[in-house]
Amino acid sequence: MAETTAQATLALGTGRRKTAVARVRLKLGTGKVLVNAEAFERYFPTEGDRIDVLTPFNSTKVLGKYDLEARVSGGGKSGQAQAILLGVARALCKADPTLEPKLREDHLLTRDQRMKERKKYGRRGARRSFQFSKR
């Protein structure tokens, strides 16, 4: 019986967005949030990114119930924040399966698969061509 409660206190989740990958650990606690062993207010200076990270907690009304520890790499700050959002939502589903319908309803368990399109040969970018000269 003790093993199941110990397992329920720790939940893992992985989130990806563009080239950012976030590995998330949720533990029962007081609501402390660490990103790459740094306070998340310091790691994400913009308010929008901080809101993204806390969205799954606010949506399910469990803010302050779990401690969050995230390791994130690749991409920019905004992509990293959205990768953490997906990882937290997945970890919350593992920690408490009754939260899944609310997370699905708010589209927090859907991965955003859009990636940067690769540059094509004979062109300036992915789609942009060189300037055409008539004469």
Q: What is the pLDDT of residue 8?
A: 57
Q: What is the pLDDT of residue 9?
A: 78
> What order of strands is seen across the sheet that includes strand 20-28?
10-17, 20-28, 66-73, 33-35, 38-39
- Domains along the sequence of the chain with CATH: 2-105 (3.30.230.10)
Provide the 10 A C-beta neighbour count for residue 121: 4
- CA-to-CA distance for 102 and 56, rounded, in angstroms? 9
| Mean pLDDT of each 10-residue bin along the chain, 135 residues long | 53 95 95 94 95 94 93 95 96 94 94 94 92 87
Residue 120 is classified by DSSP as: P
- CA-to-CA distance for 95 and 5, rounded, in angstroms? 10
Query: Phi and psi for 72 in degrees, rounded to 5?
Result: -130, 145
State the angle between helix axes of 77-95 and 47-60 in degrees (0 to 180), rounded to the nearest 10.
10
Q: What is the pLDDT of residue 4?
A: 47
Q: What is the pLDDT of residue 33?
A: 94
